[in-house]
A and B are shown apart, each in its own frame.
With several copies, the nearest count.
Chain A
Amino acid sequence: MSDIFEIAGRALESRLILGTGGFRNLQVMAAAARESGAELATVAMRRVDPSARGSIVEVLEEAGLEVLPNTAGCFTAREAVTTAKLARDALGTDWVKLEVIGDDRTLLPDPAELLVAAEELVADGFTVLPYTSDDPILARRLEDAGCPAVMPLGSPIGSGMGINNPYNLRLIVEQAGVPVILDAGVGTASDAALAMEAGCDAVLLASAISRAADPVAMARAMRKAIEAGHEARAAGRIPRRLYAQASSPEEGLAELEGGAPAAPERARSGS
């Protein structure tokens, strides 16, 4: 966890990346985006719908965010690769958040298809940010394949369960030579703080903000939580200890019993 957060040589001020799924409308999305302080927001590629009002790209750019296309909805390497190329052509960016889903109930990534897609896209010059499971080996294989960051999940997309396996996340952070961005599963502020304390470089948030009762207020809370977790890790937390550590001086204690009864002696004798 360094204090400059860079992906593929590009420095980012904010450690919160916004997913745009789930917002009631573009206005709420824009307000939450501003409050969150995010600089990047993911978008999906779908069929042109003439009836749709407003361009998400313009709305995000007005709010000062850059667009990061994803391959949400793809179930094979082939679909994902084609979607990434379409996004590049449509949006003029070779960055892509790569998703290759293995199951439509859990939306968990398909490890083998994901790795194939990552290799193909890297070879084609893309900057590939893969949405991956919390498997430390898969994360390393993706880094080996040339991904400039890895995006392990905490728990399934939209589940709000938080980080189901902090141990795996810790292993990924320990071994990673590239930024680790927690993606999916965050439910509330403490989950985001926890991810940063575990050493993640950033957190991607969609449903946790967009589906909150008050998305704008939650965006602000998440921004603070991510800063808090990041700063707390840097500040050096106290160790966990099995027993208490008095935070009051033992010396200078007054004798106020006027003849100490058995009780306090027994108490002090401890176990």
Chain B
Amino acid sequence: MTVVTLNGEQRELHEPATVEAAVLATGAPDGRGVAVAVDGEVVPRGKWATTQVREGQQVEVLHAVQGGA
């Protein structure tokens, strides 16, 4: 188990704790329209499956919403 901060909340990820697993854990239906940053660095879609997230890292999974001028 790896504990990370996923979109601001403490979450446990089962091994292998990849970015892809983190994305699924957010409940994003599929990855379309979604992007990920780990500790403030973007992890390109192509590397989700092969990028491990480590204990205590900050994972942000974002998508487009209404907003802004």
Contact = CB atoms under 8 A, between A and B. Distances in A.
B27 A87 contact: no
B49 interface: no
A46 B62 contact: yes
A21 B68 contact: yes
Residue of B34, B36, B68 ringed by the most chain A CB atoms within 10 A: B68
Contact of B67 (A72, A78, A82, A91): A72
Nearest to B7: A47
Interface range on chain A (Cβ under 8 Å from partner): 35 or more
Given A89-B35, A91-B33, A258-B41, A48 B63 contact: yes
Contact of A44 (B26, B39, B40, B66): B66
B1 interface: no
A127 interface: no
B33 A252 contact: no
Contact of B62 (A57, A90, A157): A90
Interface in B17-69: 26-28, 33-37, 39-42, 44-45, 58, 60-69
Nearest to B65: A46
A104 interface: no
Contacts of B68: 19-21, 42-44, 70, 72-73, 97, 99, 206, 247-248
Contacts of A249: 65-67
B62 to A, nearest CB: 5
A89 B44 contact: yes
A86 B59 CA distance: 13
Given A21-B68, A48-B34, A258-B58, A90 B40 contact: no
A55 interface: yes
Contact of B69 (A88, A204, A257): A204
Interface string A13-55: 0000001111100100100000000000011111111101001
Given A57-B33, A91-B33, 5 more contacts: A21-B66, A44-B64, A47-B8, A90-B35, A254-B37
Interface of A: 19-23, 26, 29, 42-50, 52, 55-57, 67, 69-70, 72-73, 78, 82-83, 85-91, 97, 99, 131, 157-158, 183-184, 204, 206-207, 247-249, 252, 254-259
18 contacts: A20-B66, A43-B65, A44-B65, A44-B66, A47-B60, A48-B7, A48-B62, A56-B64, A57-B33, A70-B68, A82-B40, A86-B35, A88-B35, A91-B64, A158-B69, A249-B67, A256-B60, A258-B40
